[in-house]
Amino acid sequence: MCGRFAITLPHDAMAQLFDALPANDLPEVPNYNVCPTDPIHVATAGRRLVSMRWGLIPSWYEAPNDGPLLINARAEGIEHKAAFRQAVRERRCLVPASGFYEWTKDTDGNRLPWYITRRDGAPMALAAIWQDWGREGERQPTVAIVTTAANAEILSLHNRMPVILEPVDWPLWLGEAGPGAARLLGGAPDGTLDYHRVDPAVNSNRARGPHLVEPLAA
């Protein structure tokens, strides 16, 4: 899955990365502990860089908490899930991330956080889908990150991982290059990612600061 991530790129760097026009209300960066329900950066079709709430809210919810918090959408069968099928056909997007977190447990049940990045140091572009939600004329764009089975590297930490797309595939996922986006829903190739242990301080969604992604001292 993908339940927490970091984004450290300045707004102009994100806009340049996606060749996108940035909105005026983008979330503050850097953010080393992006959590569900936070506003996050999203690159949409039409190459706009905008802010959306992390946690897709289906159109039939009467309130944001009317059902499960849909921060992730499983790639397997996504086109058949009522909450996701229209969005994956019509509203695909990209979420920039510098890295994401995953957790294991020690023999005492303590949660041990790990920070995962691209081996080449490049930012990640996570496949995602979005949905407008609102009542009484107020609309809120909401987004879910698409996940898939973990590759060989991440499998030792978790059996799921976000779908990480290469730049050559961004136009296809965004619907700018014709049909065929479904074939992009696999995991990153083995050898793409690195990870290291980080301070358990990140277990708190209130934790902030660059120390959260630094390797834990031995």
Catalytic residue numbers? 2, 102
The DSSP string of 136-186 is: TT--EEEEEEEEEE--TTGGGT-SEEE-B--GGGHHHHTTSS-S-GGGG-S
Taking CA 97 as the corner, what is the angle to CA 20 and CA 12, rounded to the nearest 5 degrees? 35
- From edge to edge, which strands make up the β-sheet containing 31-34? 31-34, 5-7, 99-105, 111-118, 193-197
Please check whether residue 127 is in contact with residue 184, taking contact to mean a CB–CB distance below 8 angstroms: yes
